[in-house]
Amino acid sequence: MNPCELTASVTAVANVMASKLTDEELSIWAAVFVQLGDTLATIATQKARCKDRCSIE
């Protein structure tokens, strides 16, 4: 999948979610996905820093 297809897919999922969820539910899911993205970025950075010393694979 190229970058344009990926962003179009993410946008489509966001639009479907926004049309199906209440404002409160949408806010909660937005916060969940922000935390997920931040956590994945932290893990990726830590893995890059300690390739041979970390137990995460």
Which among 3, 30, 2 has a CA at the least distance from the CA of 14? 30
Work out the average pLDDT over 49-55. 76
- Tell whether 7 is covered by a domain: no
User: What DSSP assignment string belongs to 22-51?
Assistant: -HHHHHHHHHHHHHHHHHHHHHHHHHHHTT
- Tell whether 42 is covered by a domain: yes
Query: Going by C-beta distance under 8 Å and a sequence separation of 6 or more, which residues neighbour residue 17?
Result: 26, 29
Indicate if the pLDDT at residue 54 is higher than 70: no
Provide the domain limits for residue 49: 22-57
Would you place residue 51 in the very low, low, confident or very high pLDDT band (cuts 50, 70, 90)? Answer: confident
Tens of pLDDT, residue by residue over 10-48, are: 999 999 999 999 999 999 999 999 999 999 999 999 999
User: Where is average pLDDT lowest: 2-6, 23-27, 47-51, 53-57?
Assistant: 53-57
Total number of domains in the chain: 1
